[in-house]
Amino acid sequence: MTDRSIQWLLIGFPLAFFSAFFIAPLVVVLVASVMGGSPARPTLAHYARILLDAYHWEILLVTTRIAVATTVVATLLGFPLAYYLVRIVRADWWRRAAVILIVIPLFTSNIVRSFGWMVLLGRNGLVNDGLTAAGLVERPIRFLGTELGIVIGLVYILLPFIVLTVGNALSAIDRTIEQAAADLGAGPFTVFRTVTLPLCLPGLMAGAVIVFALSATAYVTPALLSSGRVTVFSILIAQQYSSVFDFHYGGALSITLLVVTLALLACASALGRRR
Amino acid sequence: MAALADVSLTVEAGEFVALLGPSGCGKTSLLRCIAGFVDPDQGAIILDGEDITGRPPNRRPLNTVFQNYALFPHMTVAENVAYGPRRRGVARGEIQDSLKAALALVELTGFESRMPRELSGGQQQRVALARAIVNKPRLLLLDEPLAALDLKLRRQMQLELKHLQAKLGIAFVFVTHDQEEAMTMADQIVVMNQGRIEQSGSAAEIYTRPSSIFVADFIGEANLIPMRLEDGRLRACIGGAPVTHPGASASSFTAVLRPENIEVIDPMSANAITARVTEVVDIGGHLLIHADVSGRSIRLRRLGSERGRLSTGAEIGLTWRPENIHVVPGIVP
């Protein structure tokens, strides 16, 4: 077999799969978003409707805010957790058990987990009961139907992605490089700041990109935890497709979310490269 | 089992010391104790009269060159070398000057903005060296720094390192398992085995007067010949069957006879020990000869010009000067 035919064998199947189930639907959505009226002809009316309406900008802002908050919180929780698992834990059995505990939620349905959070975060849920019993709050905090509740639910679901990518990056660092830094006069914190952190930054960035993309486009968790009071962009899209049946307007919303998410990620990676 | 036991080592200012031994002998453990990466359970490490035992590595006035160089992969050559001075809060202008001087010393001027991955092994080695000596440490520790280089480059770096050390006047403690490397570079060679120091001294001392069977066998090639005490005189158990003396069983000795000190003579002459050549290896200029003396294999090293009478199977006579025999305690199996 020639090199070229091996190449086609390797790439052919994934290419066919992605063309059929990703690129083709995307093209359908894109085409629908720029067609309108009857008989149908090309128009940018749907995009104008979105971009000239403050309501859509508001929802875009809420969506971005939730995604950024989720990414920041997941990173702040995930990094120490990954550091603990890779660097501090001595017993192999405990490290393995902890990794399994972190990964297991990924095997459960998103819907089940979100319902679980509804029970936990409700007015008389475990979290509020615990907080009032401990005397930390006087009245129950409203989690459901707030952005805070959605962020909590998303962080829980997306945390494994940060822990796994950062953990991978951390365990790939050659420890003698950190010893060399200490040998040259760097204290433990300076070693972390100048060597450990920069060296696992690519892993951290990869994890953050995954978390951001997944939380900006998440549907199930925001839909269940918002109680209809918070609307994110994906909820808006789902309404158009499943209740209103306006595929043109829905398509334009989908493309808008895709473009905005990609643009934000491009900005973040440009910022990361400049450093 | 302890990694190190009963180790006492003194390094004079500006001295080049090589820690030499087989892998697992404790030489790297000793180096890591001095650097501060591990703390000894007992004993003290004293630098310039100051006890630095238990101090973290960042607060010890010494530097290390690591076996795999351990350069910071995300920093340029200049940033790597300036790392130490910056940690000590040296002024910016001064850092620039010492950076320039350190890079000039290792002949890497012009490589400031390269990344470590863009350099060859030998160049990375020089950066690691520059990164350490830019701090002007009192003591520089080197953990097999040349092990990853090919033979030719290694030989060249050995001499360069030695000249550099003499020029800077920094004391070097150099870990190696390569005896030739230790002998080329070091003022003092410390031979280690199983966590202990077997012997320390100059290359000539260790080669001509090894203190134990281990040192004799580890340094260079040696014929180890069991000896027995007979009527108050030591006799080698070779070329004949000496009668064992009943009273001398407790004290056994081994003769160390270097291959180049064995002479080949006519087997018929007096004092000759009769031997049969079993193998001749030409290593370019020299012949390595294995000869059988009543069941014991003896190695000799002769000049290539003697090839004529040293063919496999030939019967030869061996002799040596008494002063070339060195006796160590213990007995070889």
Over residues B191-221, the pLDDT tens digits come to: 999 989 999 999 999 998 888 889 988 998 8
Q: Which positions in chain B touch A176 (Cβ < 8 Å)?
A: 66-68, 70
Question: Could you tell me where the beta strands, DSSP code E, fall in B80-166?
Answer: 139-143
Interface probe with B: pick from A178, A179, A184, A194, most Cβ of B within 10 Å: A184
Answer yes or no: are the C-beta atoms of A265 and A213 closer than 8 Å. Answer: yes
Q: Which residues pair with A15 in a beta bridge?
A: none
Answer yes or no: are the C-beta atoms of B221 and B259 closer than 8 Å. Answer: yes
Cβ–Cβ gap A186/B58 under 8 Å: yes
Per the listing, tokens 């030739």 go with B180
Q: Which two tokens stand for residue A27?
A: 């093209």
CA distance readout (Å), B20 to A13, B191, B196, B213: 58, 5, 11, 16
Domain boundaries, chain B: 16-217, 221-329
Answer yes or no: are the C-beta atoms of B102 and B84 closer than 8 Å. Answer: no
According to the model, what pLDDT value does residue A248 have?
87
- Pick A184's closest partner by Cβ from B68, B73, B84: B84
For the cut 50, the answer to whether the pLDDT of residue B250 exceeds it is no
> How far apart are the C-alpha atoms of B73 and B54, rounded to whole Å?
29
Model confidence over A216-270: pLDDT tens digits?
999 999 998 888 888 898 998 998 888 888 888 888 899 999 999 999 888 888 8
For the cut 60, the answer to whether the pLDDT of residue B244 exceeds it is no
Main-chain phi, psi angles of B326, to 5 degrees? -115, 135
Q: How many CB atoms lie within 10 A of CB B332?
A: 13
Q: Which residues pair with B191 in a beta bridge?
A: B20, B199
Instruction: Report, at the CATH architecture level, how domain B16-217 is classified.
Output: 3-Layer(aba) Sandwich (3.40)
Model confidence over B48-78: pLDDT tens digits?
888 998 899 999 999 999 988 999 999 999 9
Q: Which positions in chain A touch B74 (Cβ < 8 Å)?
A: 198-199
> How far apart are the C-alpha atoms of A116 and A225, rounded to whole Å?
10
Q: Which positions in chain A touch B73 (Cβ < 8 Å)?
A: 177, 199
Q: Write down how long chain B is.
A: 333
Q: Does the CB of B68 have a partner CB in chain A at under 8 Å?
A: yes
For domain B221-329, is the CATH number 2.40.50.100? yes
Higher pLDDT, B225 or A91: A91
Closest alpha carbon to A114 in A218, A31, A239: A218
Q: Binning pLDDT at 50, 70 and 90, where does residue B333 land?
A: low
Q: Does the CB of B64 have a partner CB in chain A at under 8 Å?
A: yes
According to the model, what pLDDT value does residue A169 have?
93
Model confidence over B268-323: pLDDT tens digits?
887 778 888 999 888 888 889 999 887 788 899 988 877 777 888 888 888 888 77
| Backbone CA torsion sign across A135, A137, A143, A148 | negative
Which residue in chain A has the smallest CA separation from B80?
A: A181
Q: Does the CB of A174 have a partner CB in chain B at under 8 Å?
A: yes
Q: Write down how long chain A is.
A: 275
According to the model, what pLDDT value does residue A212 have?
94
Q: Cα distance from A197 to chain B (closest Cα, Å)? A: 11
CA distance readout (Å), A85 to A8, A79, B99, B184: 41, 10, 38, 46
For the cut 50, the answer to whether the pLDDT of residue B248 exceeds it is no
Residue type, B59: R
Interface probe with A: pick from B52, B59, B74, most Cβ of A within 10 Å: B74
Q: Which A residues, 197 through 216, put their C-beta within 8 Å of a C-beta on chain B?
A: 198-199
Which residue in chain B has the smallest CA separation from A187?
A: B58
For the cut 80, the answer to whether the pLDDT of residue B332 exceeds it is no
Q: Binning pLDDT at 50, 70 and 90, where does residue B15 land?
A: very high
- Pick B57's closest partner by Cβ from A182, A190, A198: A182
> How far apart are the C-alpha atoms of A68 and A150, rounded to whole Å?
12
How confident is the model over A113-136, as a mean pLDDT?
A: 86
Model confidence over A154-184: pLDDT tens digits?
999 999 999 999 999 999 999 999 999 999 9
Which residue in chain A has the smallest CA separation from B82?
A: A184
- Pick A184's closest partner by Cβ from B63, B68, B73: B63
Non-local (6+) Cβ contacts of A83 within 8 A are A166, A170
CA A212, distance to chain mean position in Å, is 4
According to the model, what pLDDT value does residue B63 have?
94
Q: Binning pLDDT at 50, 70 and 90, where does residue B234 land?
A: low
Answer yes or no: are the C-beta atoms of B255 and B322 closer than 8 Å. Answer: no
Cβ–Cβ gap B57/A177 under 8 Å: no
For the cut 50, the answer to whether the pLDDT of residue A113 exceeds it is yes
> How far apart are the C-alpha atoms of B156 and B187, rounded to whole Å?
18
Q: How many CB atoms lie within 10 A of CB A257?
A: 20
CA A36, distance to chain mean position in Å, is 33
Burial class (CB in 10 A: 0-12, 13-18, 19+), B96: middle
CA distance readout (Å), A182 to A185, B29, B95, B140: 5, 17, 19, 15
For the cut 50, the answer to whether the pLDDT of residue B243 exceeds it is no
> In chain A, pLDDT over 90 holds for what percent of residues?
41
Q: Which two tokens stand for residue A11?
A: 């790439």
Q: In the Cβ-directed half-sphere of B266, how many Cα atoms lie within 13 Å?
A: 3
Answer yes or no: are the C-beta atoms of B297 and B318 closer than 8 Å. Answer: no
Model confidence over B87-112: pLDDT tens digits?
999 999 999 999 999 999 888 999 99
Q: Which B residues, 124 through 153, put their C-beta within 8 Å of a C-beta on chain A?
A: 131-132, 135
How confident is the model over A73-77, as a mean pLDDT?
A: 96
Q: Identify the structural domains of chain A with CATH numbers, from first to last.
A: 44-274 (1.10.3720.10)
> How far apart are the C-alpha atoms of A202 and B297, rounded to whole Å?
61
Q: Binning pLDDT at 50, 70 and 90, where does residue B235 land?
A: low
> How far apart are the C-alpha atoms of B303 and A48, rounded to whole Å?
96
Full-model pTM: 0.79
According to the model, what pLDDT value does residue A35 have?
84
Answer yes or no: are the C-beta atoms of B133 and B124 closer than 8 Å. Answer: no
Answer yes or no: are the C-beta atoms of A199 and A114 closer than 8 Å. Answer: no
